[in-house]
Amino acid sequence: MLMRVRTWLGQIGDDIRQSTDASLLSSLRFMGLLYGRIDRELPIDQALRKAWGRRLPSYVGWRHSFGGIAYLLFMVLVVTGVLLSFYYRPSVDEAYASLQYIATEVPFGWLIRDLHVWSANLIVLAILAHMARVFFTGAYRPPRETSWLVGVLLLFVVLAFGGTGYLLPWDQWAYWTSTEVMNVIGQTPIVGGAIVGLLTGDVFVSGATLSRFFALHVIVLPWAAFGLLVLHFVVVRKHGTAPPRGHVETQDAGTPYYPDHLLRMVIVSALVLAVSISLAALFPRAIGDPATPFEIPERLVSSWIVVDVSLGLIRTMGVWGFVGFSALGLLMVILPLVDRDTEKGLRRKPVVLGVGLLFFLGFLAFWAVGQQIDSVPPSAGIETRILEERAIPTPGASDVNAGGDAEARQEP
Amino acid sequence: MIKPASPFGFLLILACSFAGLSAARPAVAGTAAGTARIQDPASSAQRYGCLVCHADKRRAYQLGIHSDRGVQCHDCHGGNPTAFETPEAHGGDFKGSLGKLESLEVCSSCHTDPNQMRQYGLPADQIAELRTSRHGQLLLVEGNLDAPTCSDCHDPHTTLRPDDARSGVYPTNISATCARCHDDESLMAPYGIPTGQVAEHRHSAHGIALYEDQNFAAPTCIGCHGSHAALPPNVGEISNVCGRCHVNVRRAFDLGPHGQLEGGEAPLGCTDCHSNHDTERVATERIAQTCEGCHEAGGAETTLGAEVEQVLRRAESEMESAAEAVEELVRRGHEVSDERFRFRAALSEFRNLEMLQHTLDLQQMMDVERLIASASMDIRGKAEVSAEEKWEHKLFLIPIWFFALGIVFLAGYRLRRLRSETPDVEGTAGNGP
């Protein structure tokens, strides 16, 4: 018995001695988590070493970080989303109250919620920056067209994540913005009505819509994103990063992922996380009044970059502007089918270059325009029009309530 | 009446009733008979002679309430509806187009009969009221045909109930009906009556409440002047007229020095400060200025007015701060039912204060002001705690950035060392920062 104990202790001693080497999983082994058959028979450590030791071409630099940033923000969204789902309740009666609870009662709930909101904004910018880098270097052309296609689909999935998540706070701003977007989608020829019918599950945005959006947000879309991400990584790994135009193949072995690129990603990740947390702390998403279909809010407050862009499009170019820009986004998907010539630079492809510039610069321009618009639901204009038709002066034009004090004393 | 002497007799009566032959059927002048007559072919041109020539009136008539009640052309205009030739149709008691007095006479033939009006819940004293009105005096005593008769306000053919939104006497339409005459300068000039009251009313607090908020409790012309008994209120009646709705304000006014005045020194009442047709709420910052309309500037009365203004301003400021605090708490995600309850309590006290200003009792007003300030302070207290939490969230950024910049520094240092160790590798990259 004593001998057995002695042998056992000896094995542990050997393992601890082994764990003091420079193994990647030494810390896990030290804690006994990889002790025994797993450690001996599965070459986890070896696989990791191989992956980390993979060498990337020497032209891969800081500007290739946007994809990694998007992935990092996606993981932040997953983690904060899971934490939020611990407390969030997707029903008409409880959604708003659970949001209040998260924002004020849950320890660091405010941080988790606003980090989720800001990450949802930053990931769109990161993906667009990543996409722009790929586009302007012509990296979407064969043989990397699948990678481009999957990447654009990932963008759509992220937009769908944001669109479905936008309603979940169930406050007036979320409710009426979703209503407005549904109205616009409903005007899309042929398919608009069917899409809106499927999404809302009712004749207007209601509890049925909230349930559907929540199910899409936490069940359907995560699986779609996971599948597309795996496919994206596999394809990128297979074809590698596209060389810059005019790059001459050399015997250069490139730089290893570890530690060179990993250190680069650590720096970028630390900065992105710090910026995200700062935005969450400094500019928390305000909460509107509880959602009600019977009262139109005086104004809508946008908290997602895509809503700003949509607003800019709808207000300046009408519904068809929104539909047209969405069609432009779809055109980006089939870009590799149109432009397959790997020899010519984008300057010699003015149409393709124009489409790309229109998409990326248009996004930024309408984002800027959308932020300047004090959004009011279109339905709110109905009452004003009725009053105008009756030629009855609005309170602002009259001196009846001079000083506006009567309005100030309305119940908040 | 037939009494059923046997079961056979009863069955006979029943059969006759179904066949419309019952001798026991009473004469009904009400809805049932009227409806029956509308459905009867007699209403068509084939049976009802008036429609042969006056088909244009038929549609208008059918939209009105009298059509439902069985009143027909000849009931008002006389004549013979069974005739199809003009001389015969327009013979007998034919009245033709009714004049103002004839119209009054025709309407009163039914509308002064309580037995007929009771079933519709209508009063039967409109004509009696009209006699007491200025309109009635002009028309009936002086024979002045400028004055309106029934059909001037109530469309004679498409006569509608007052609660029908198409009616000319519906709350939102009635001022336009009055304006048909009272906005006519040439018509009003001989009587020294100014015009433009309707436009003033539309701009007034009452008009805004009625037309914009669709608050039908707000008065139209008839709310103050009466309808059939329309007359401008006498000077001494004004506070009574306003007090019908503004009950508490009137009570406070009567308790105050203005309400205690009598005889020649008594002011006009509410309209002195609030005007009549363009009724407005006197803005808080104009209270003292309004006092100077009657009282000497710098005198004891205007000083009291200025103090009243100050109390109200402070209370308003407290209410605004409380409202902003509640709004801010909502935006930060706080559950605010308790704060909203406190705000409602404060708002109730503020309304009380607004009413109390008419007593000019400064001490009582300041007591209420303290209650408002107390409620406001409670609400703002919670908002301040929330603001402190928000500040703590910002402090949280210090360790975050310290940690992040530490990582950046260490990783950057390591990266730089790597580059210095392998200068050739980075040198060939050409795409570094």
Of B271, B176, B167, B284, the closest CA to residue B224 belongs to B271
- Please indicate, yes or no, if residue B34 is contained in any of the structural domains: no
Q: Which residues contact A248 (CB under 8 A, 6 or more apart)?
A: none
- Please indicate, yes or no, if residue B5 is contained in any of the structural domains: no
> Tell me, what's the ipTM?
0.78
Of A66-75, A212-221, B26-35, the range with the lowest mean pLDDT is B26-35
- Higher pLDDT pick, B287 / B34: B287
Q: State how far the Cα of A98 lies from the Cα of A70, in Å rounded to an integer.
A: 29
- Higher pLDDT pick, B312 / A246: B312
The H or E element spanning position B317 is helix B300-331
Tell whether the model's pLDDT for residue A100 goes beyond 90.
yes
- List all residues of chain B from 129 to 168 with a beta carbon under 8 Å from chain A: none
Chain B positions touching A287 (Cβ under 8 A) are: 330-333
- Please indicate, yes or no, if residue B389 is contained in any of the structural domains: yes
- Please indicate, yes or no, if residue B320 is contained in any of the structural domains: yes
CA distance A382 to chain B (A): 13
Domain count, chain B: 2
Q: What is the pLDDT of residues A141-157, one digit of tens each?
A: 777 888 888 999 999 99
Query: Is residue A277 a contact partner of residue A108, using CB atoms and an 8 Å limit?
Result: no
Q: State how far the Cα of A334 lies from the Cα of B313, in Å rounded to an integer.
A: 66
- Report the share of chain A in percent with pLDDT over 70: 81
Partner residue opposite B425 with nearest CB, options A58, A270, A408 = A58
Same domain, B334 and B389: yes
What mean pLDDT is reported for chain B?
83
Q: Which residues of A249-271 are buried (b: 16+ CB within 10 A; e: fewer)?
A: eeeeebbbbebbbebbbbbbbbb
Q: Which class in CATH covers the domain with range A56-243+256-301?
A: mainly alpha
Tell whether the model's pLDDT for residue A376 goes beyond 90.
no
Long-range CB contacts (< 8 A, 24+ apart) of B328-332?
B328/B383, B328/B386, B328/B387, B329/B382, B329/B383, B329/B386, B330/A287, B330/A288, B330/A289, B330/A412, B331/A286, B331/A287, B331/A288, B332/A103, B332/A104, B332/A284, B332/A286, B332/A287, B332/B386, B332/B390
Per the structure, the complete domain to which residue B412 belongs is given by 398-424
| Type of residue at A100 | Q
Partner residue opposite B281 with nearest CB, options A99, A270, A401 = A401
- Please indicate, yes or no, if residue B346 is contained in any of the structural domains: yes
Chain A positions touching B326 (Cβ under 8 A) are: 412
Q: Which residues of B216-235 are buried (b: 16+ CB within 10 A; e: fewer)?
A: eebbbbbbbbbbbbbeebee
| The pLDDT of residue B240 | 83
CB-based contact B415 A260, cutoff 8 Å: yes
Phi and psi (nearest 5°) for A389? -65, -35
**Radius of gyration (C-alpha) of chain B in whole angstroms:** 38
Q: Span A173-194, mean pLDDT?
A: 87
| The pLDDT of residue B431 | 35
Strands A55-56 and A255-256: antiparallel
Q: Span B416-427, mean pLDDT?
A: 66
Q: Is B202 exposed, middle or buried (0-12, 13-18, 19+ CB in 10 A)?
A: buried
Same domain, B358 and B408: no
Query: Is residue B81 a contact partner of residue B49, using CB atoms and an 8 Å limit?
Result: yes
Instruction: Specify which of A272-286, B59-73, B224-238, B280-294 reaches the highest per-range mean pLDDT.
Output: A272-286
Partner residue opposite A287 with nearest CB, options B323, B333, B426 = B333
What mean pLDDT is reported for chain A?
82
CB-based contact A411 B415, cutoff 8 Å: no
Chain B positions touching A258 (Cβ under 8 A) are: none
Of A332-346, B110-124, B203-217, the range with the lowest mean pLDDT is A332-346
Same domain, B322 and B335: yes
Same domain, B333 and B413: no
Query: Is residue A140 a contact partner of residue A235, using CB atoms and an 8 Å limit?
Result: no
Of A1-10, A361-370, A393-402, B220-229, the range with the lowest mean pLDDT is A393-402
The chain A residue lying nearest B205, using CA atoms, is: A400
Q: Which residues contact B414 (CB under 8 A, 6 or more apart)?
A: A259, A263
- List all residues of chain B from 181 to 240 with a beta carbon under 8 Å from chain A: 202-205, 207-208, 211-212
Partner residue opposite B407 with nearest CB, options A58, A266, A288 = A266
Same domain, B349 and B402: no
- Please indicate, yes or no, if residue B51 is contained in any of the structural domains: no
What residue segments make up the domains of chain A, in order of their start? 56-243+256-301
- List all residues of chain B from 352 to 411 with a beta carbon under 8 Å from chain A: 386, 390, 393-394, 396-397, 400-401, 403-405, 407-408, 411
| The pLDDT of residue B340 | 94
| The pLDDT of residue A62 | 83
Of A320, A48, A63, the closest CA to residue A188 belongs to A320
Q: Is A346 helix (H, G, I), strand (E, B) or coil?
A: helix
Of A341-350, B58-67, B380-389, the range with the lowest mean pLDDT is A341-350
Alpha helices by DSSP H, B196-299:
197-203, 205-207, 221-225, 238-243, 247-255, 257-260, 270-274, 287-291
- Report the share of chain B in percent with pLDDT over 70: 85
| Type of residue at B122 | L
Query: Is residue B140 a contact partner of residue B47, using CB atoms and an 8 Å limit?
Result: no
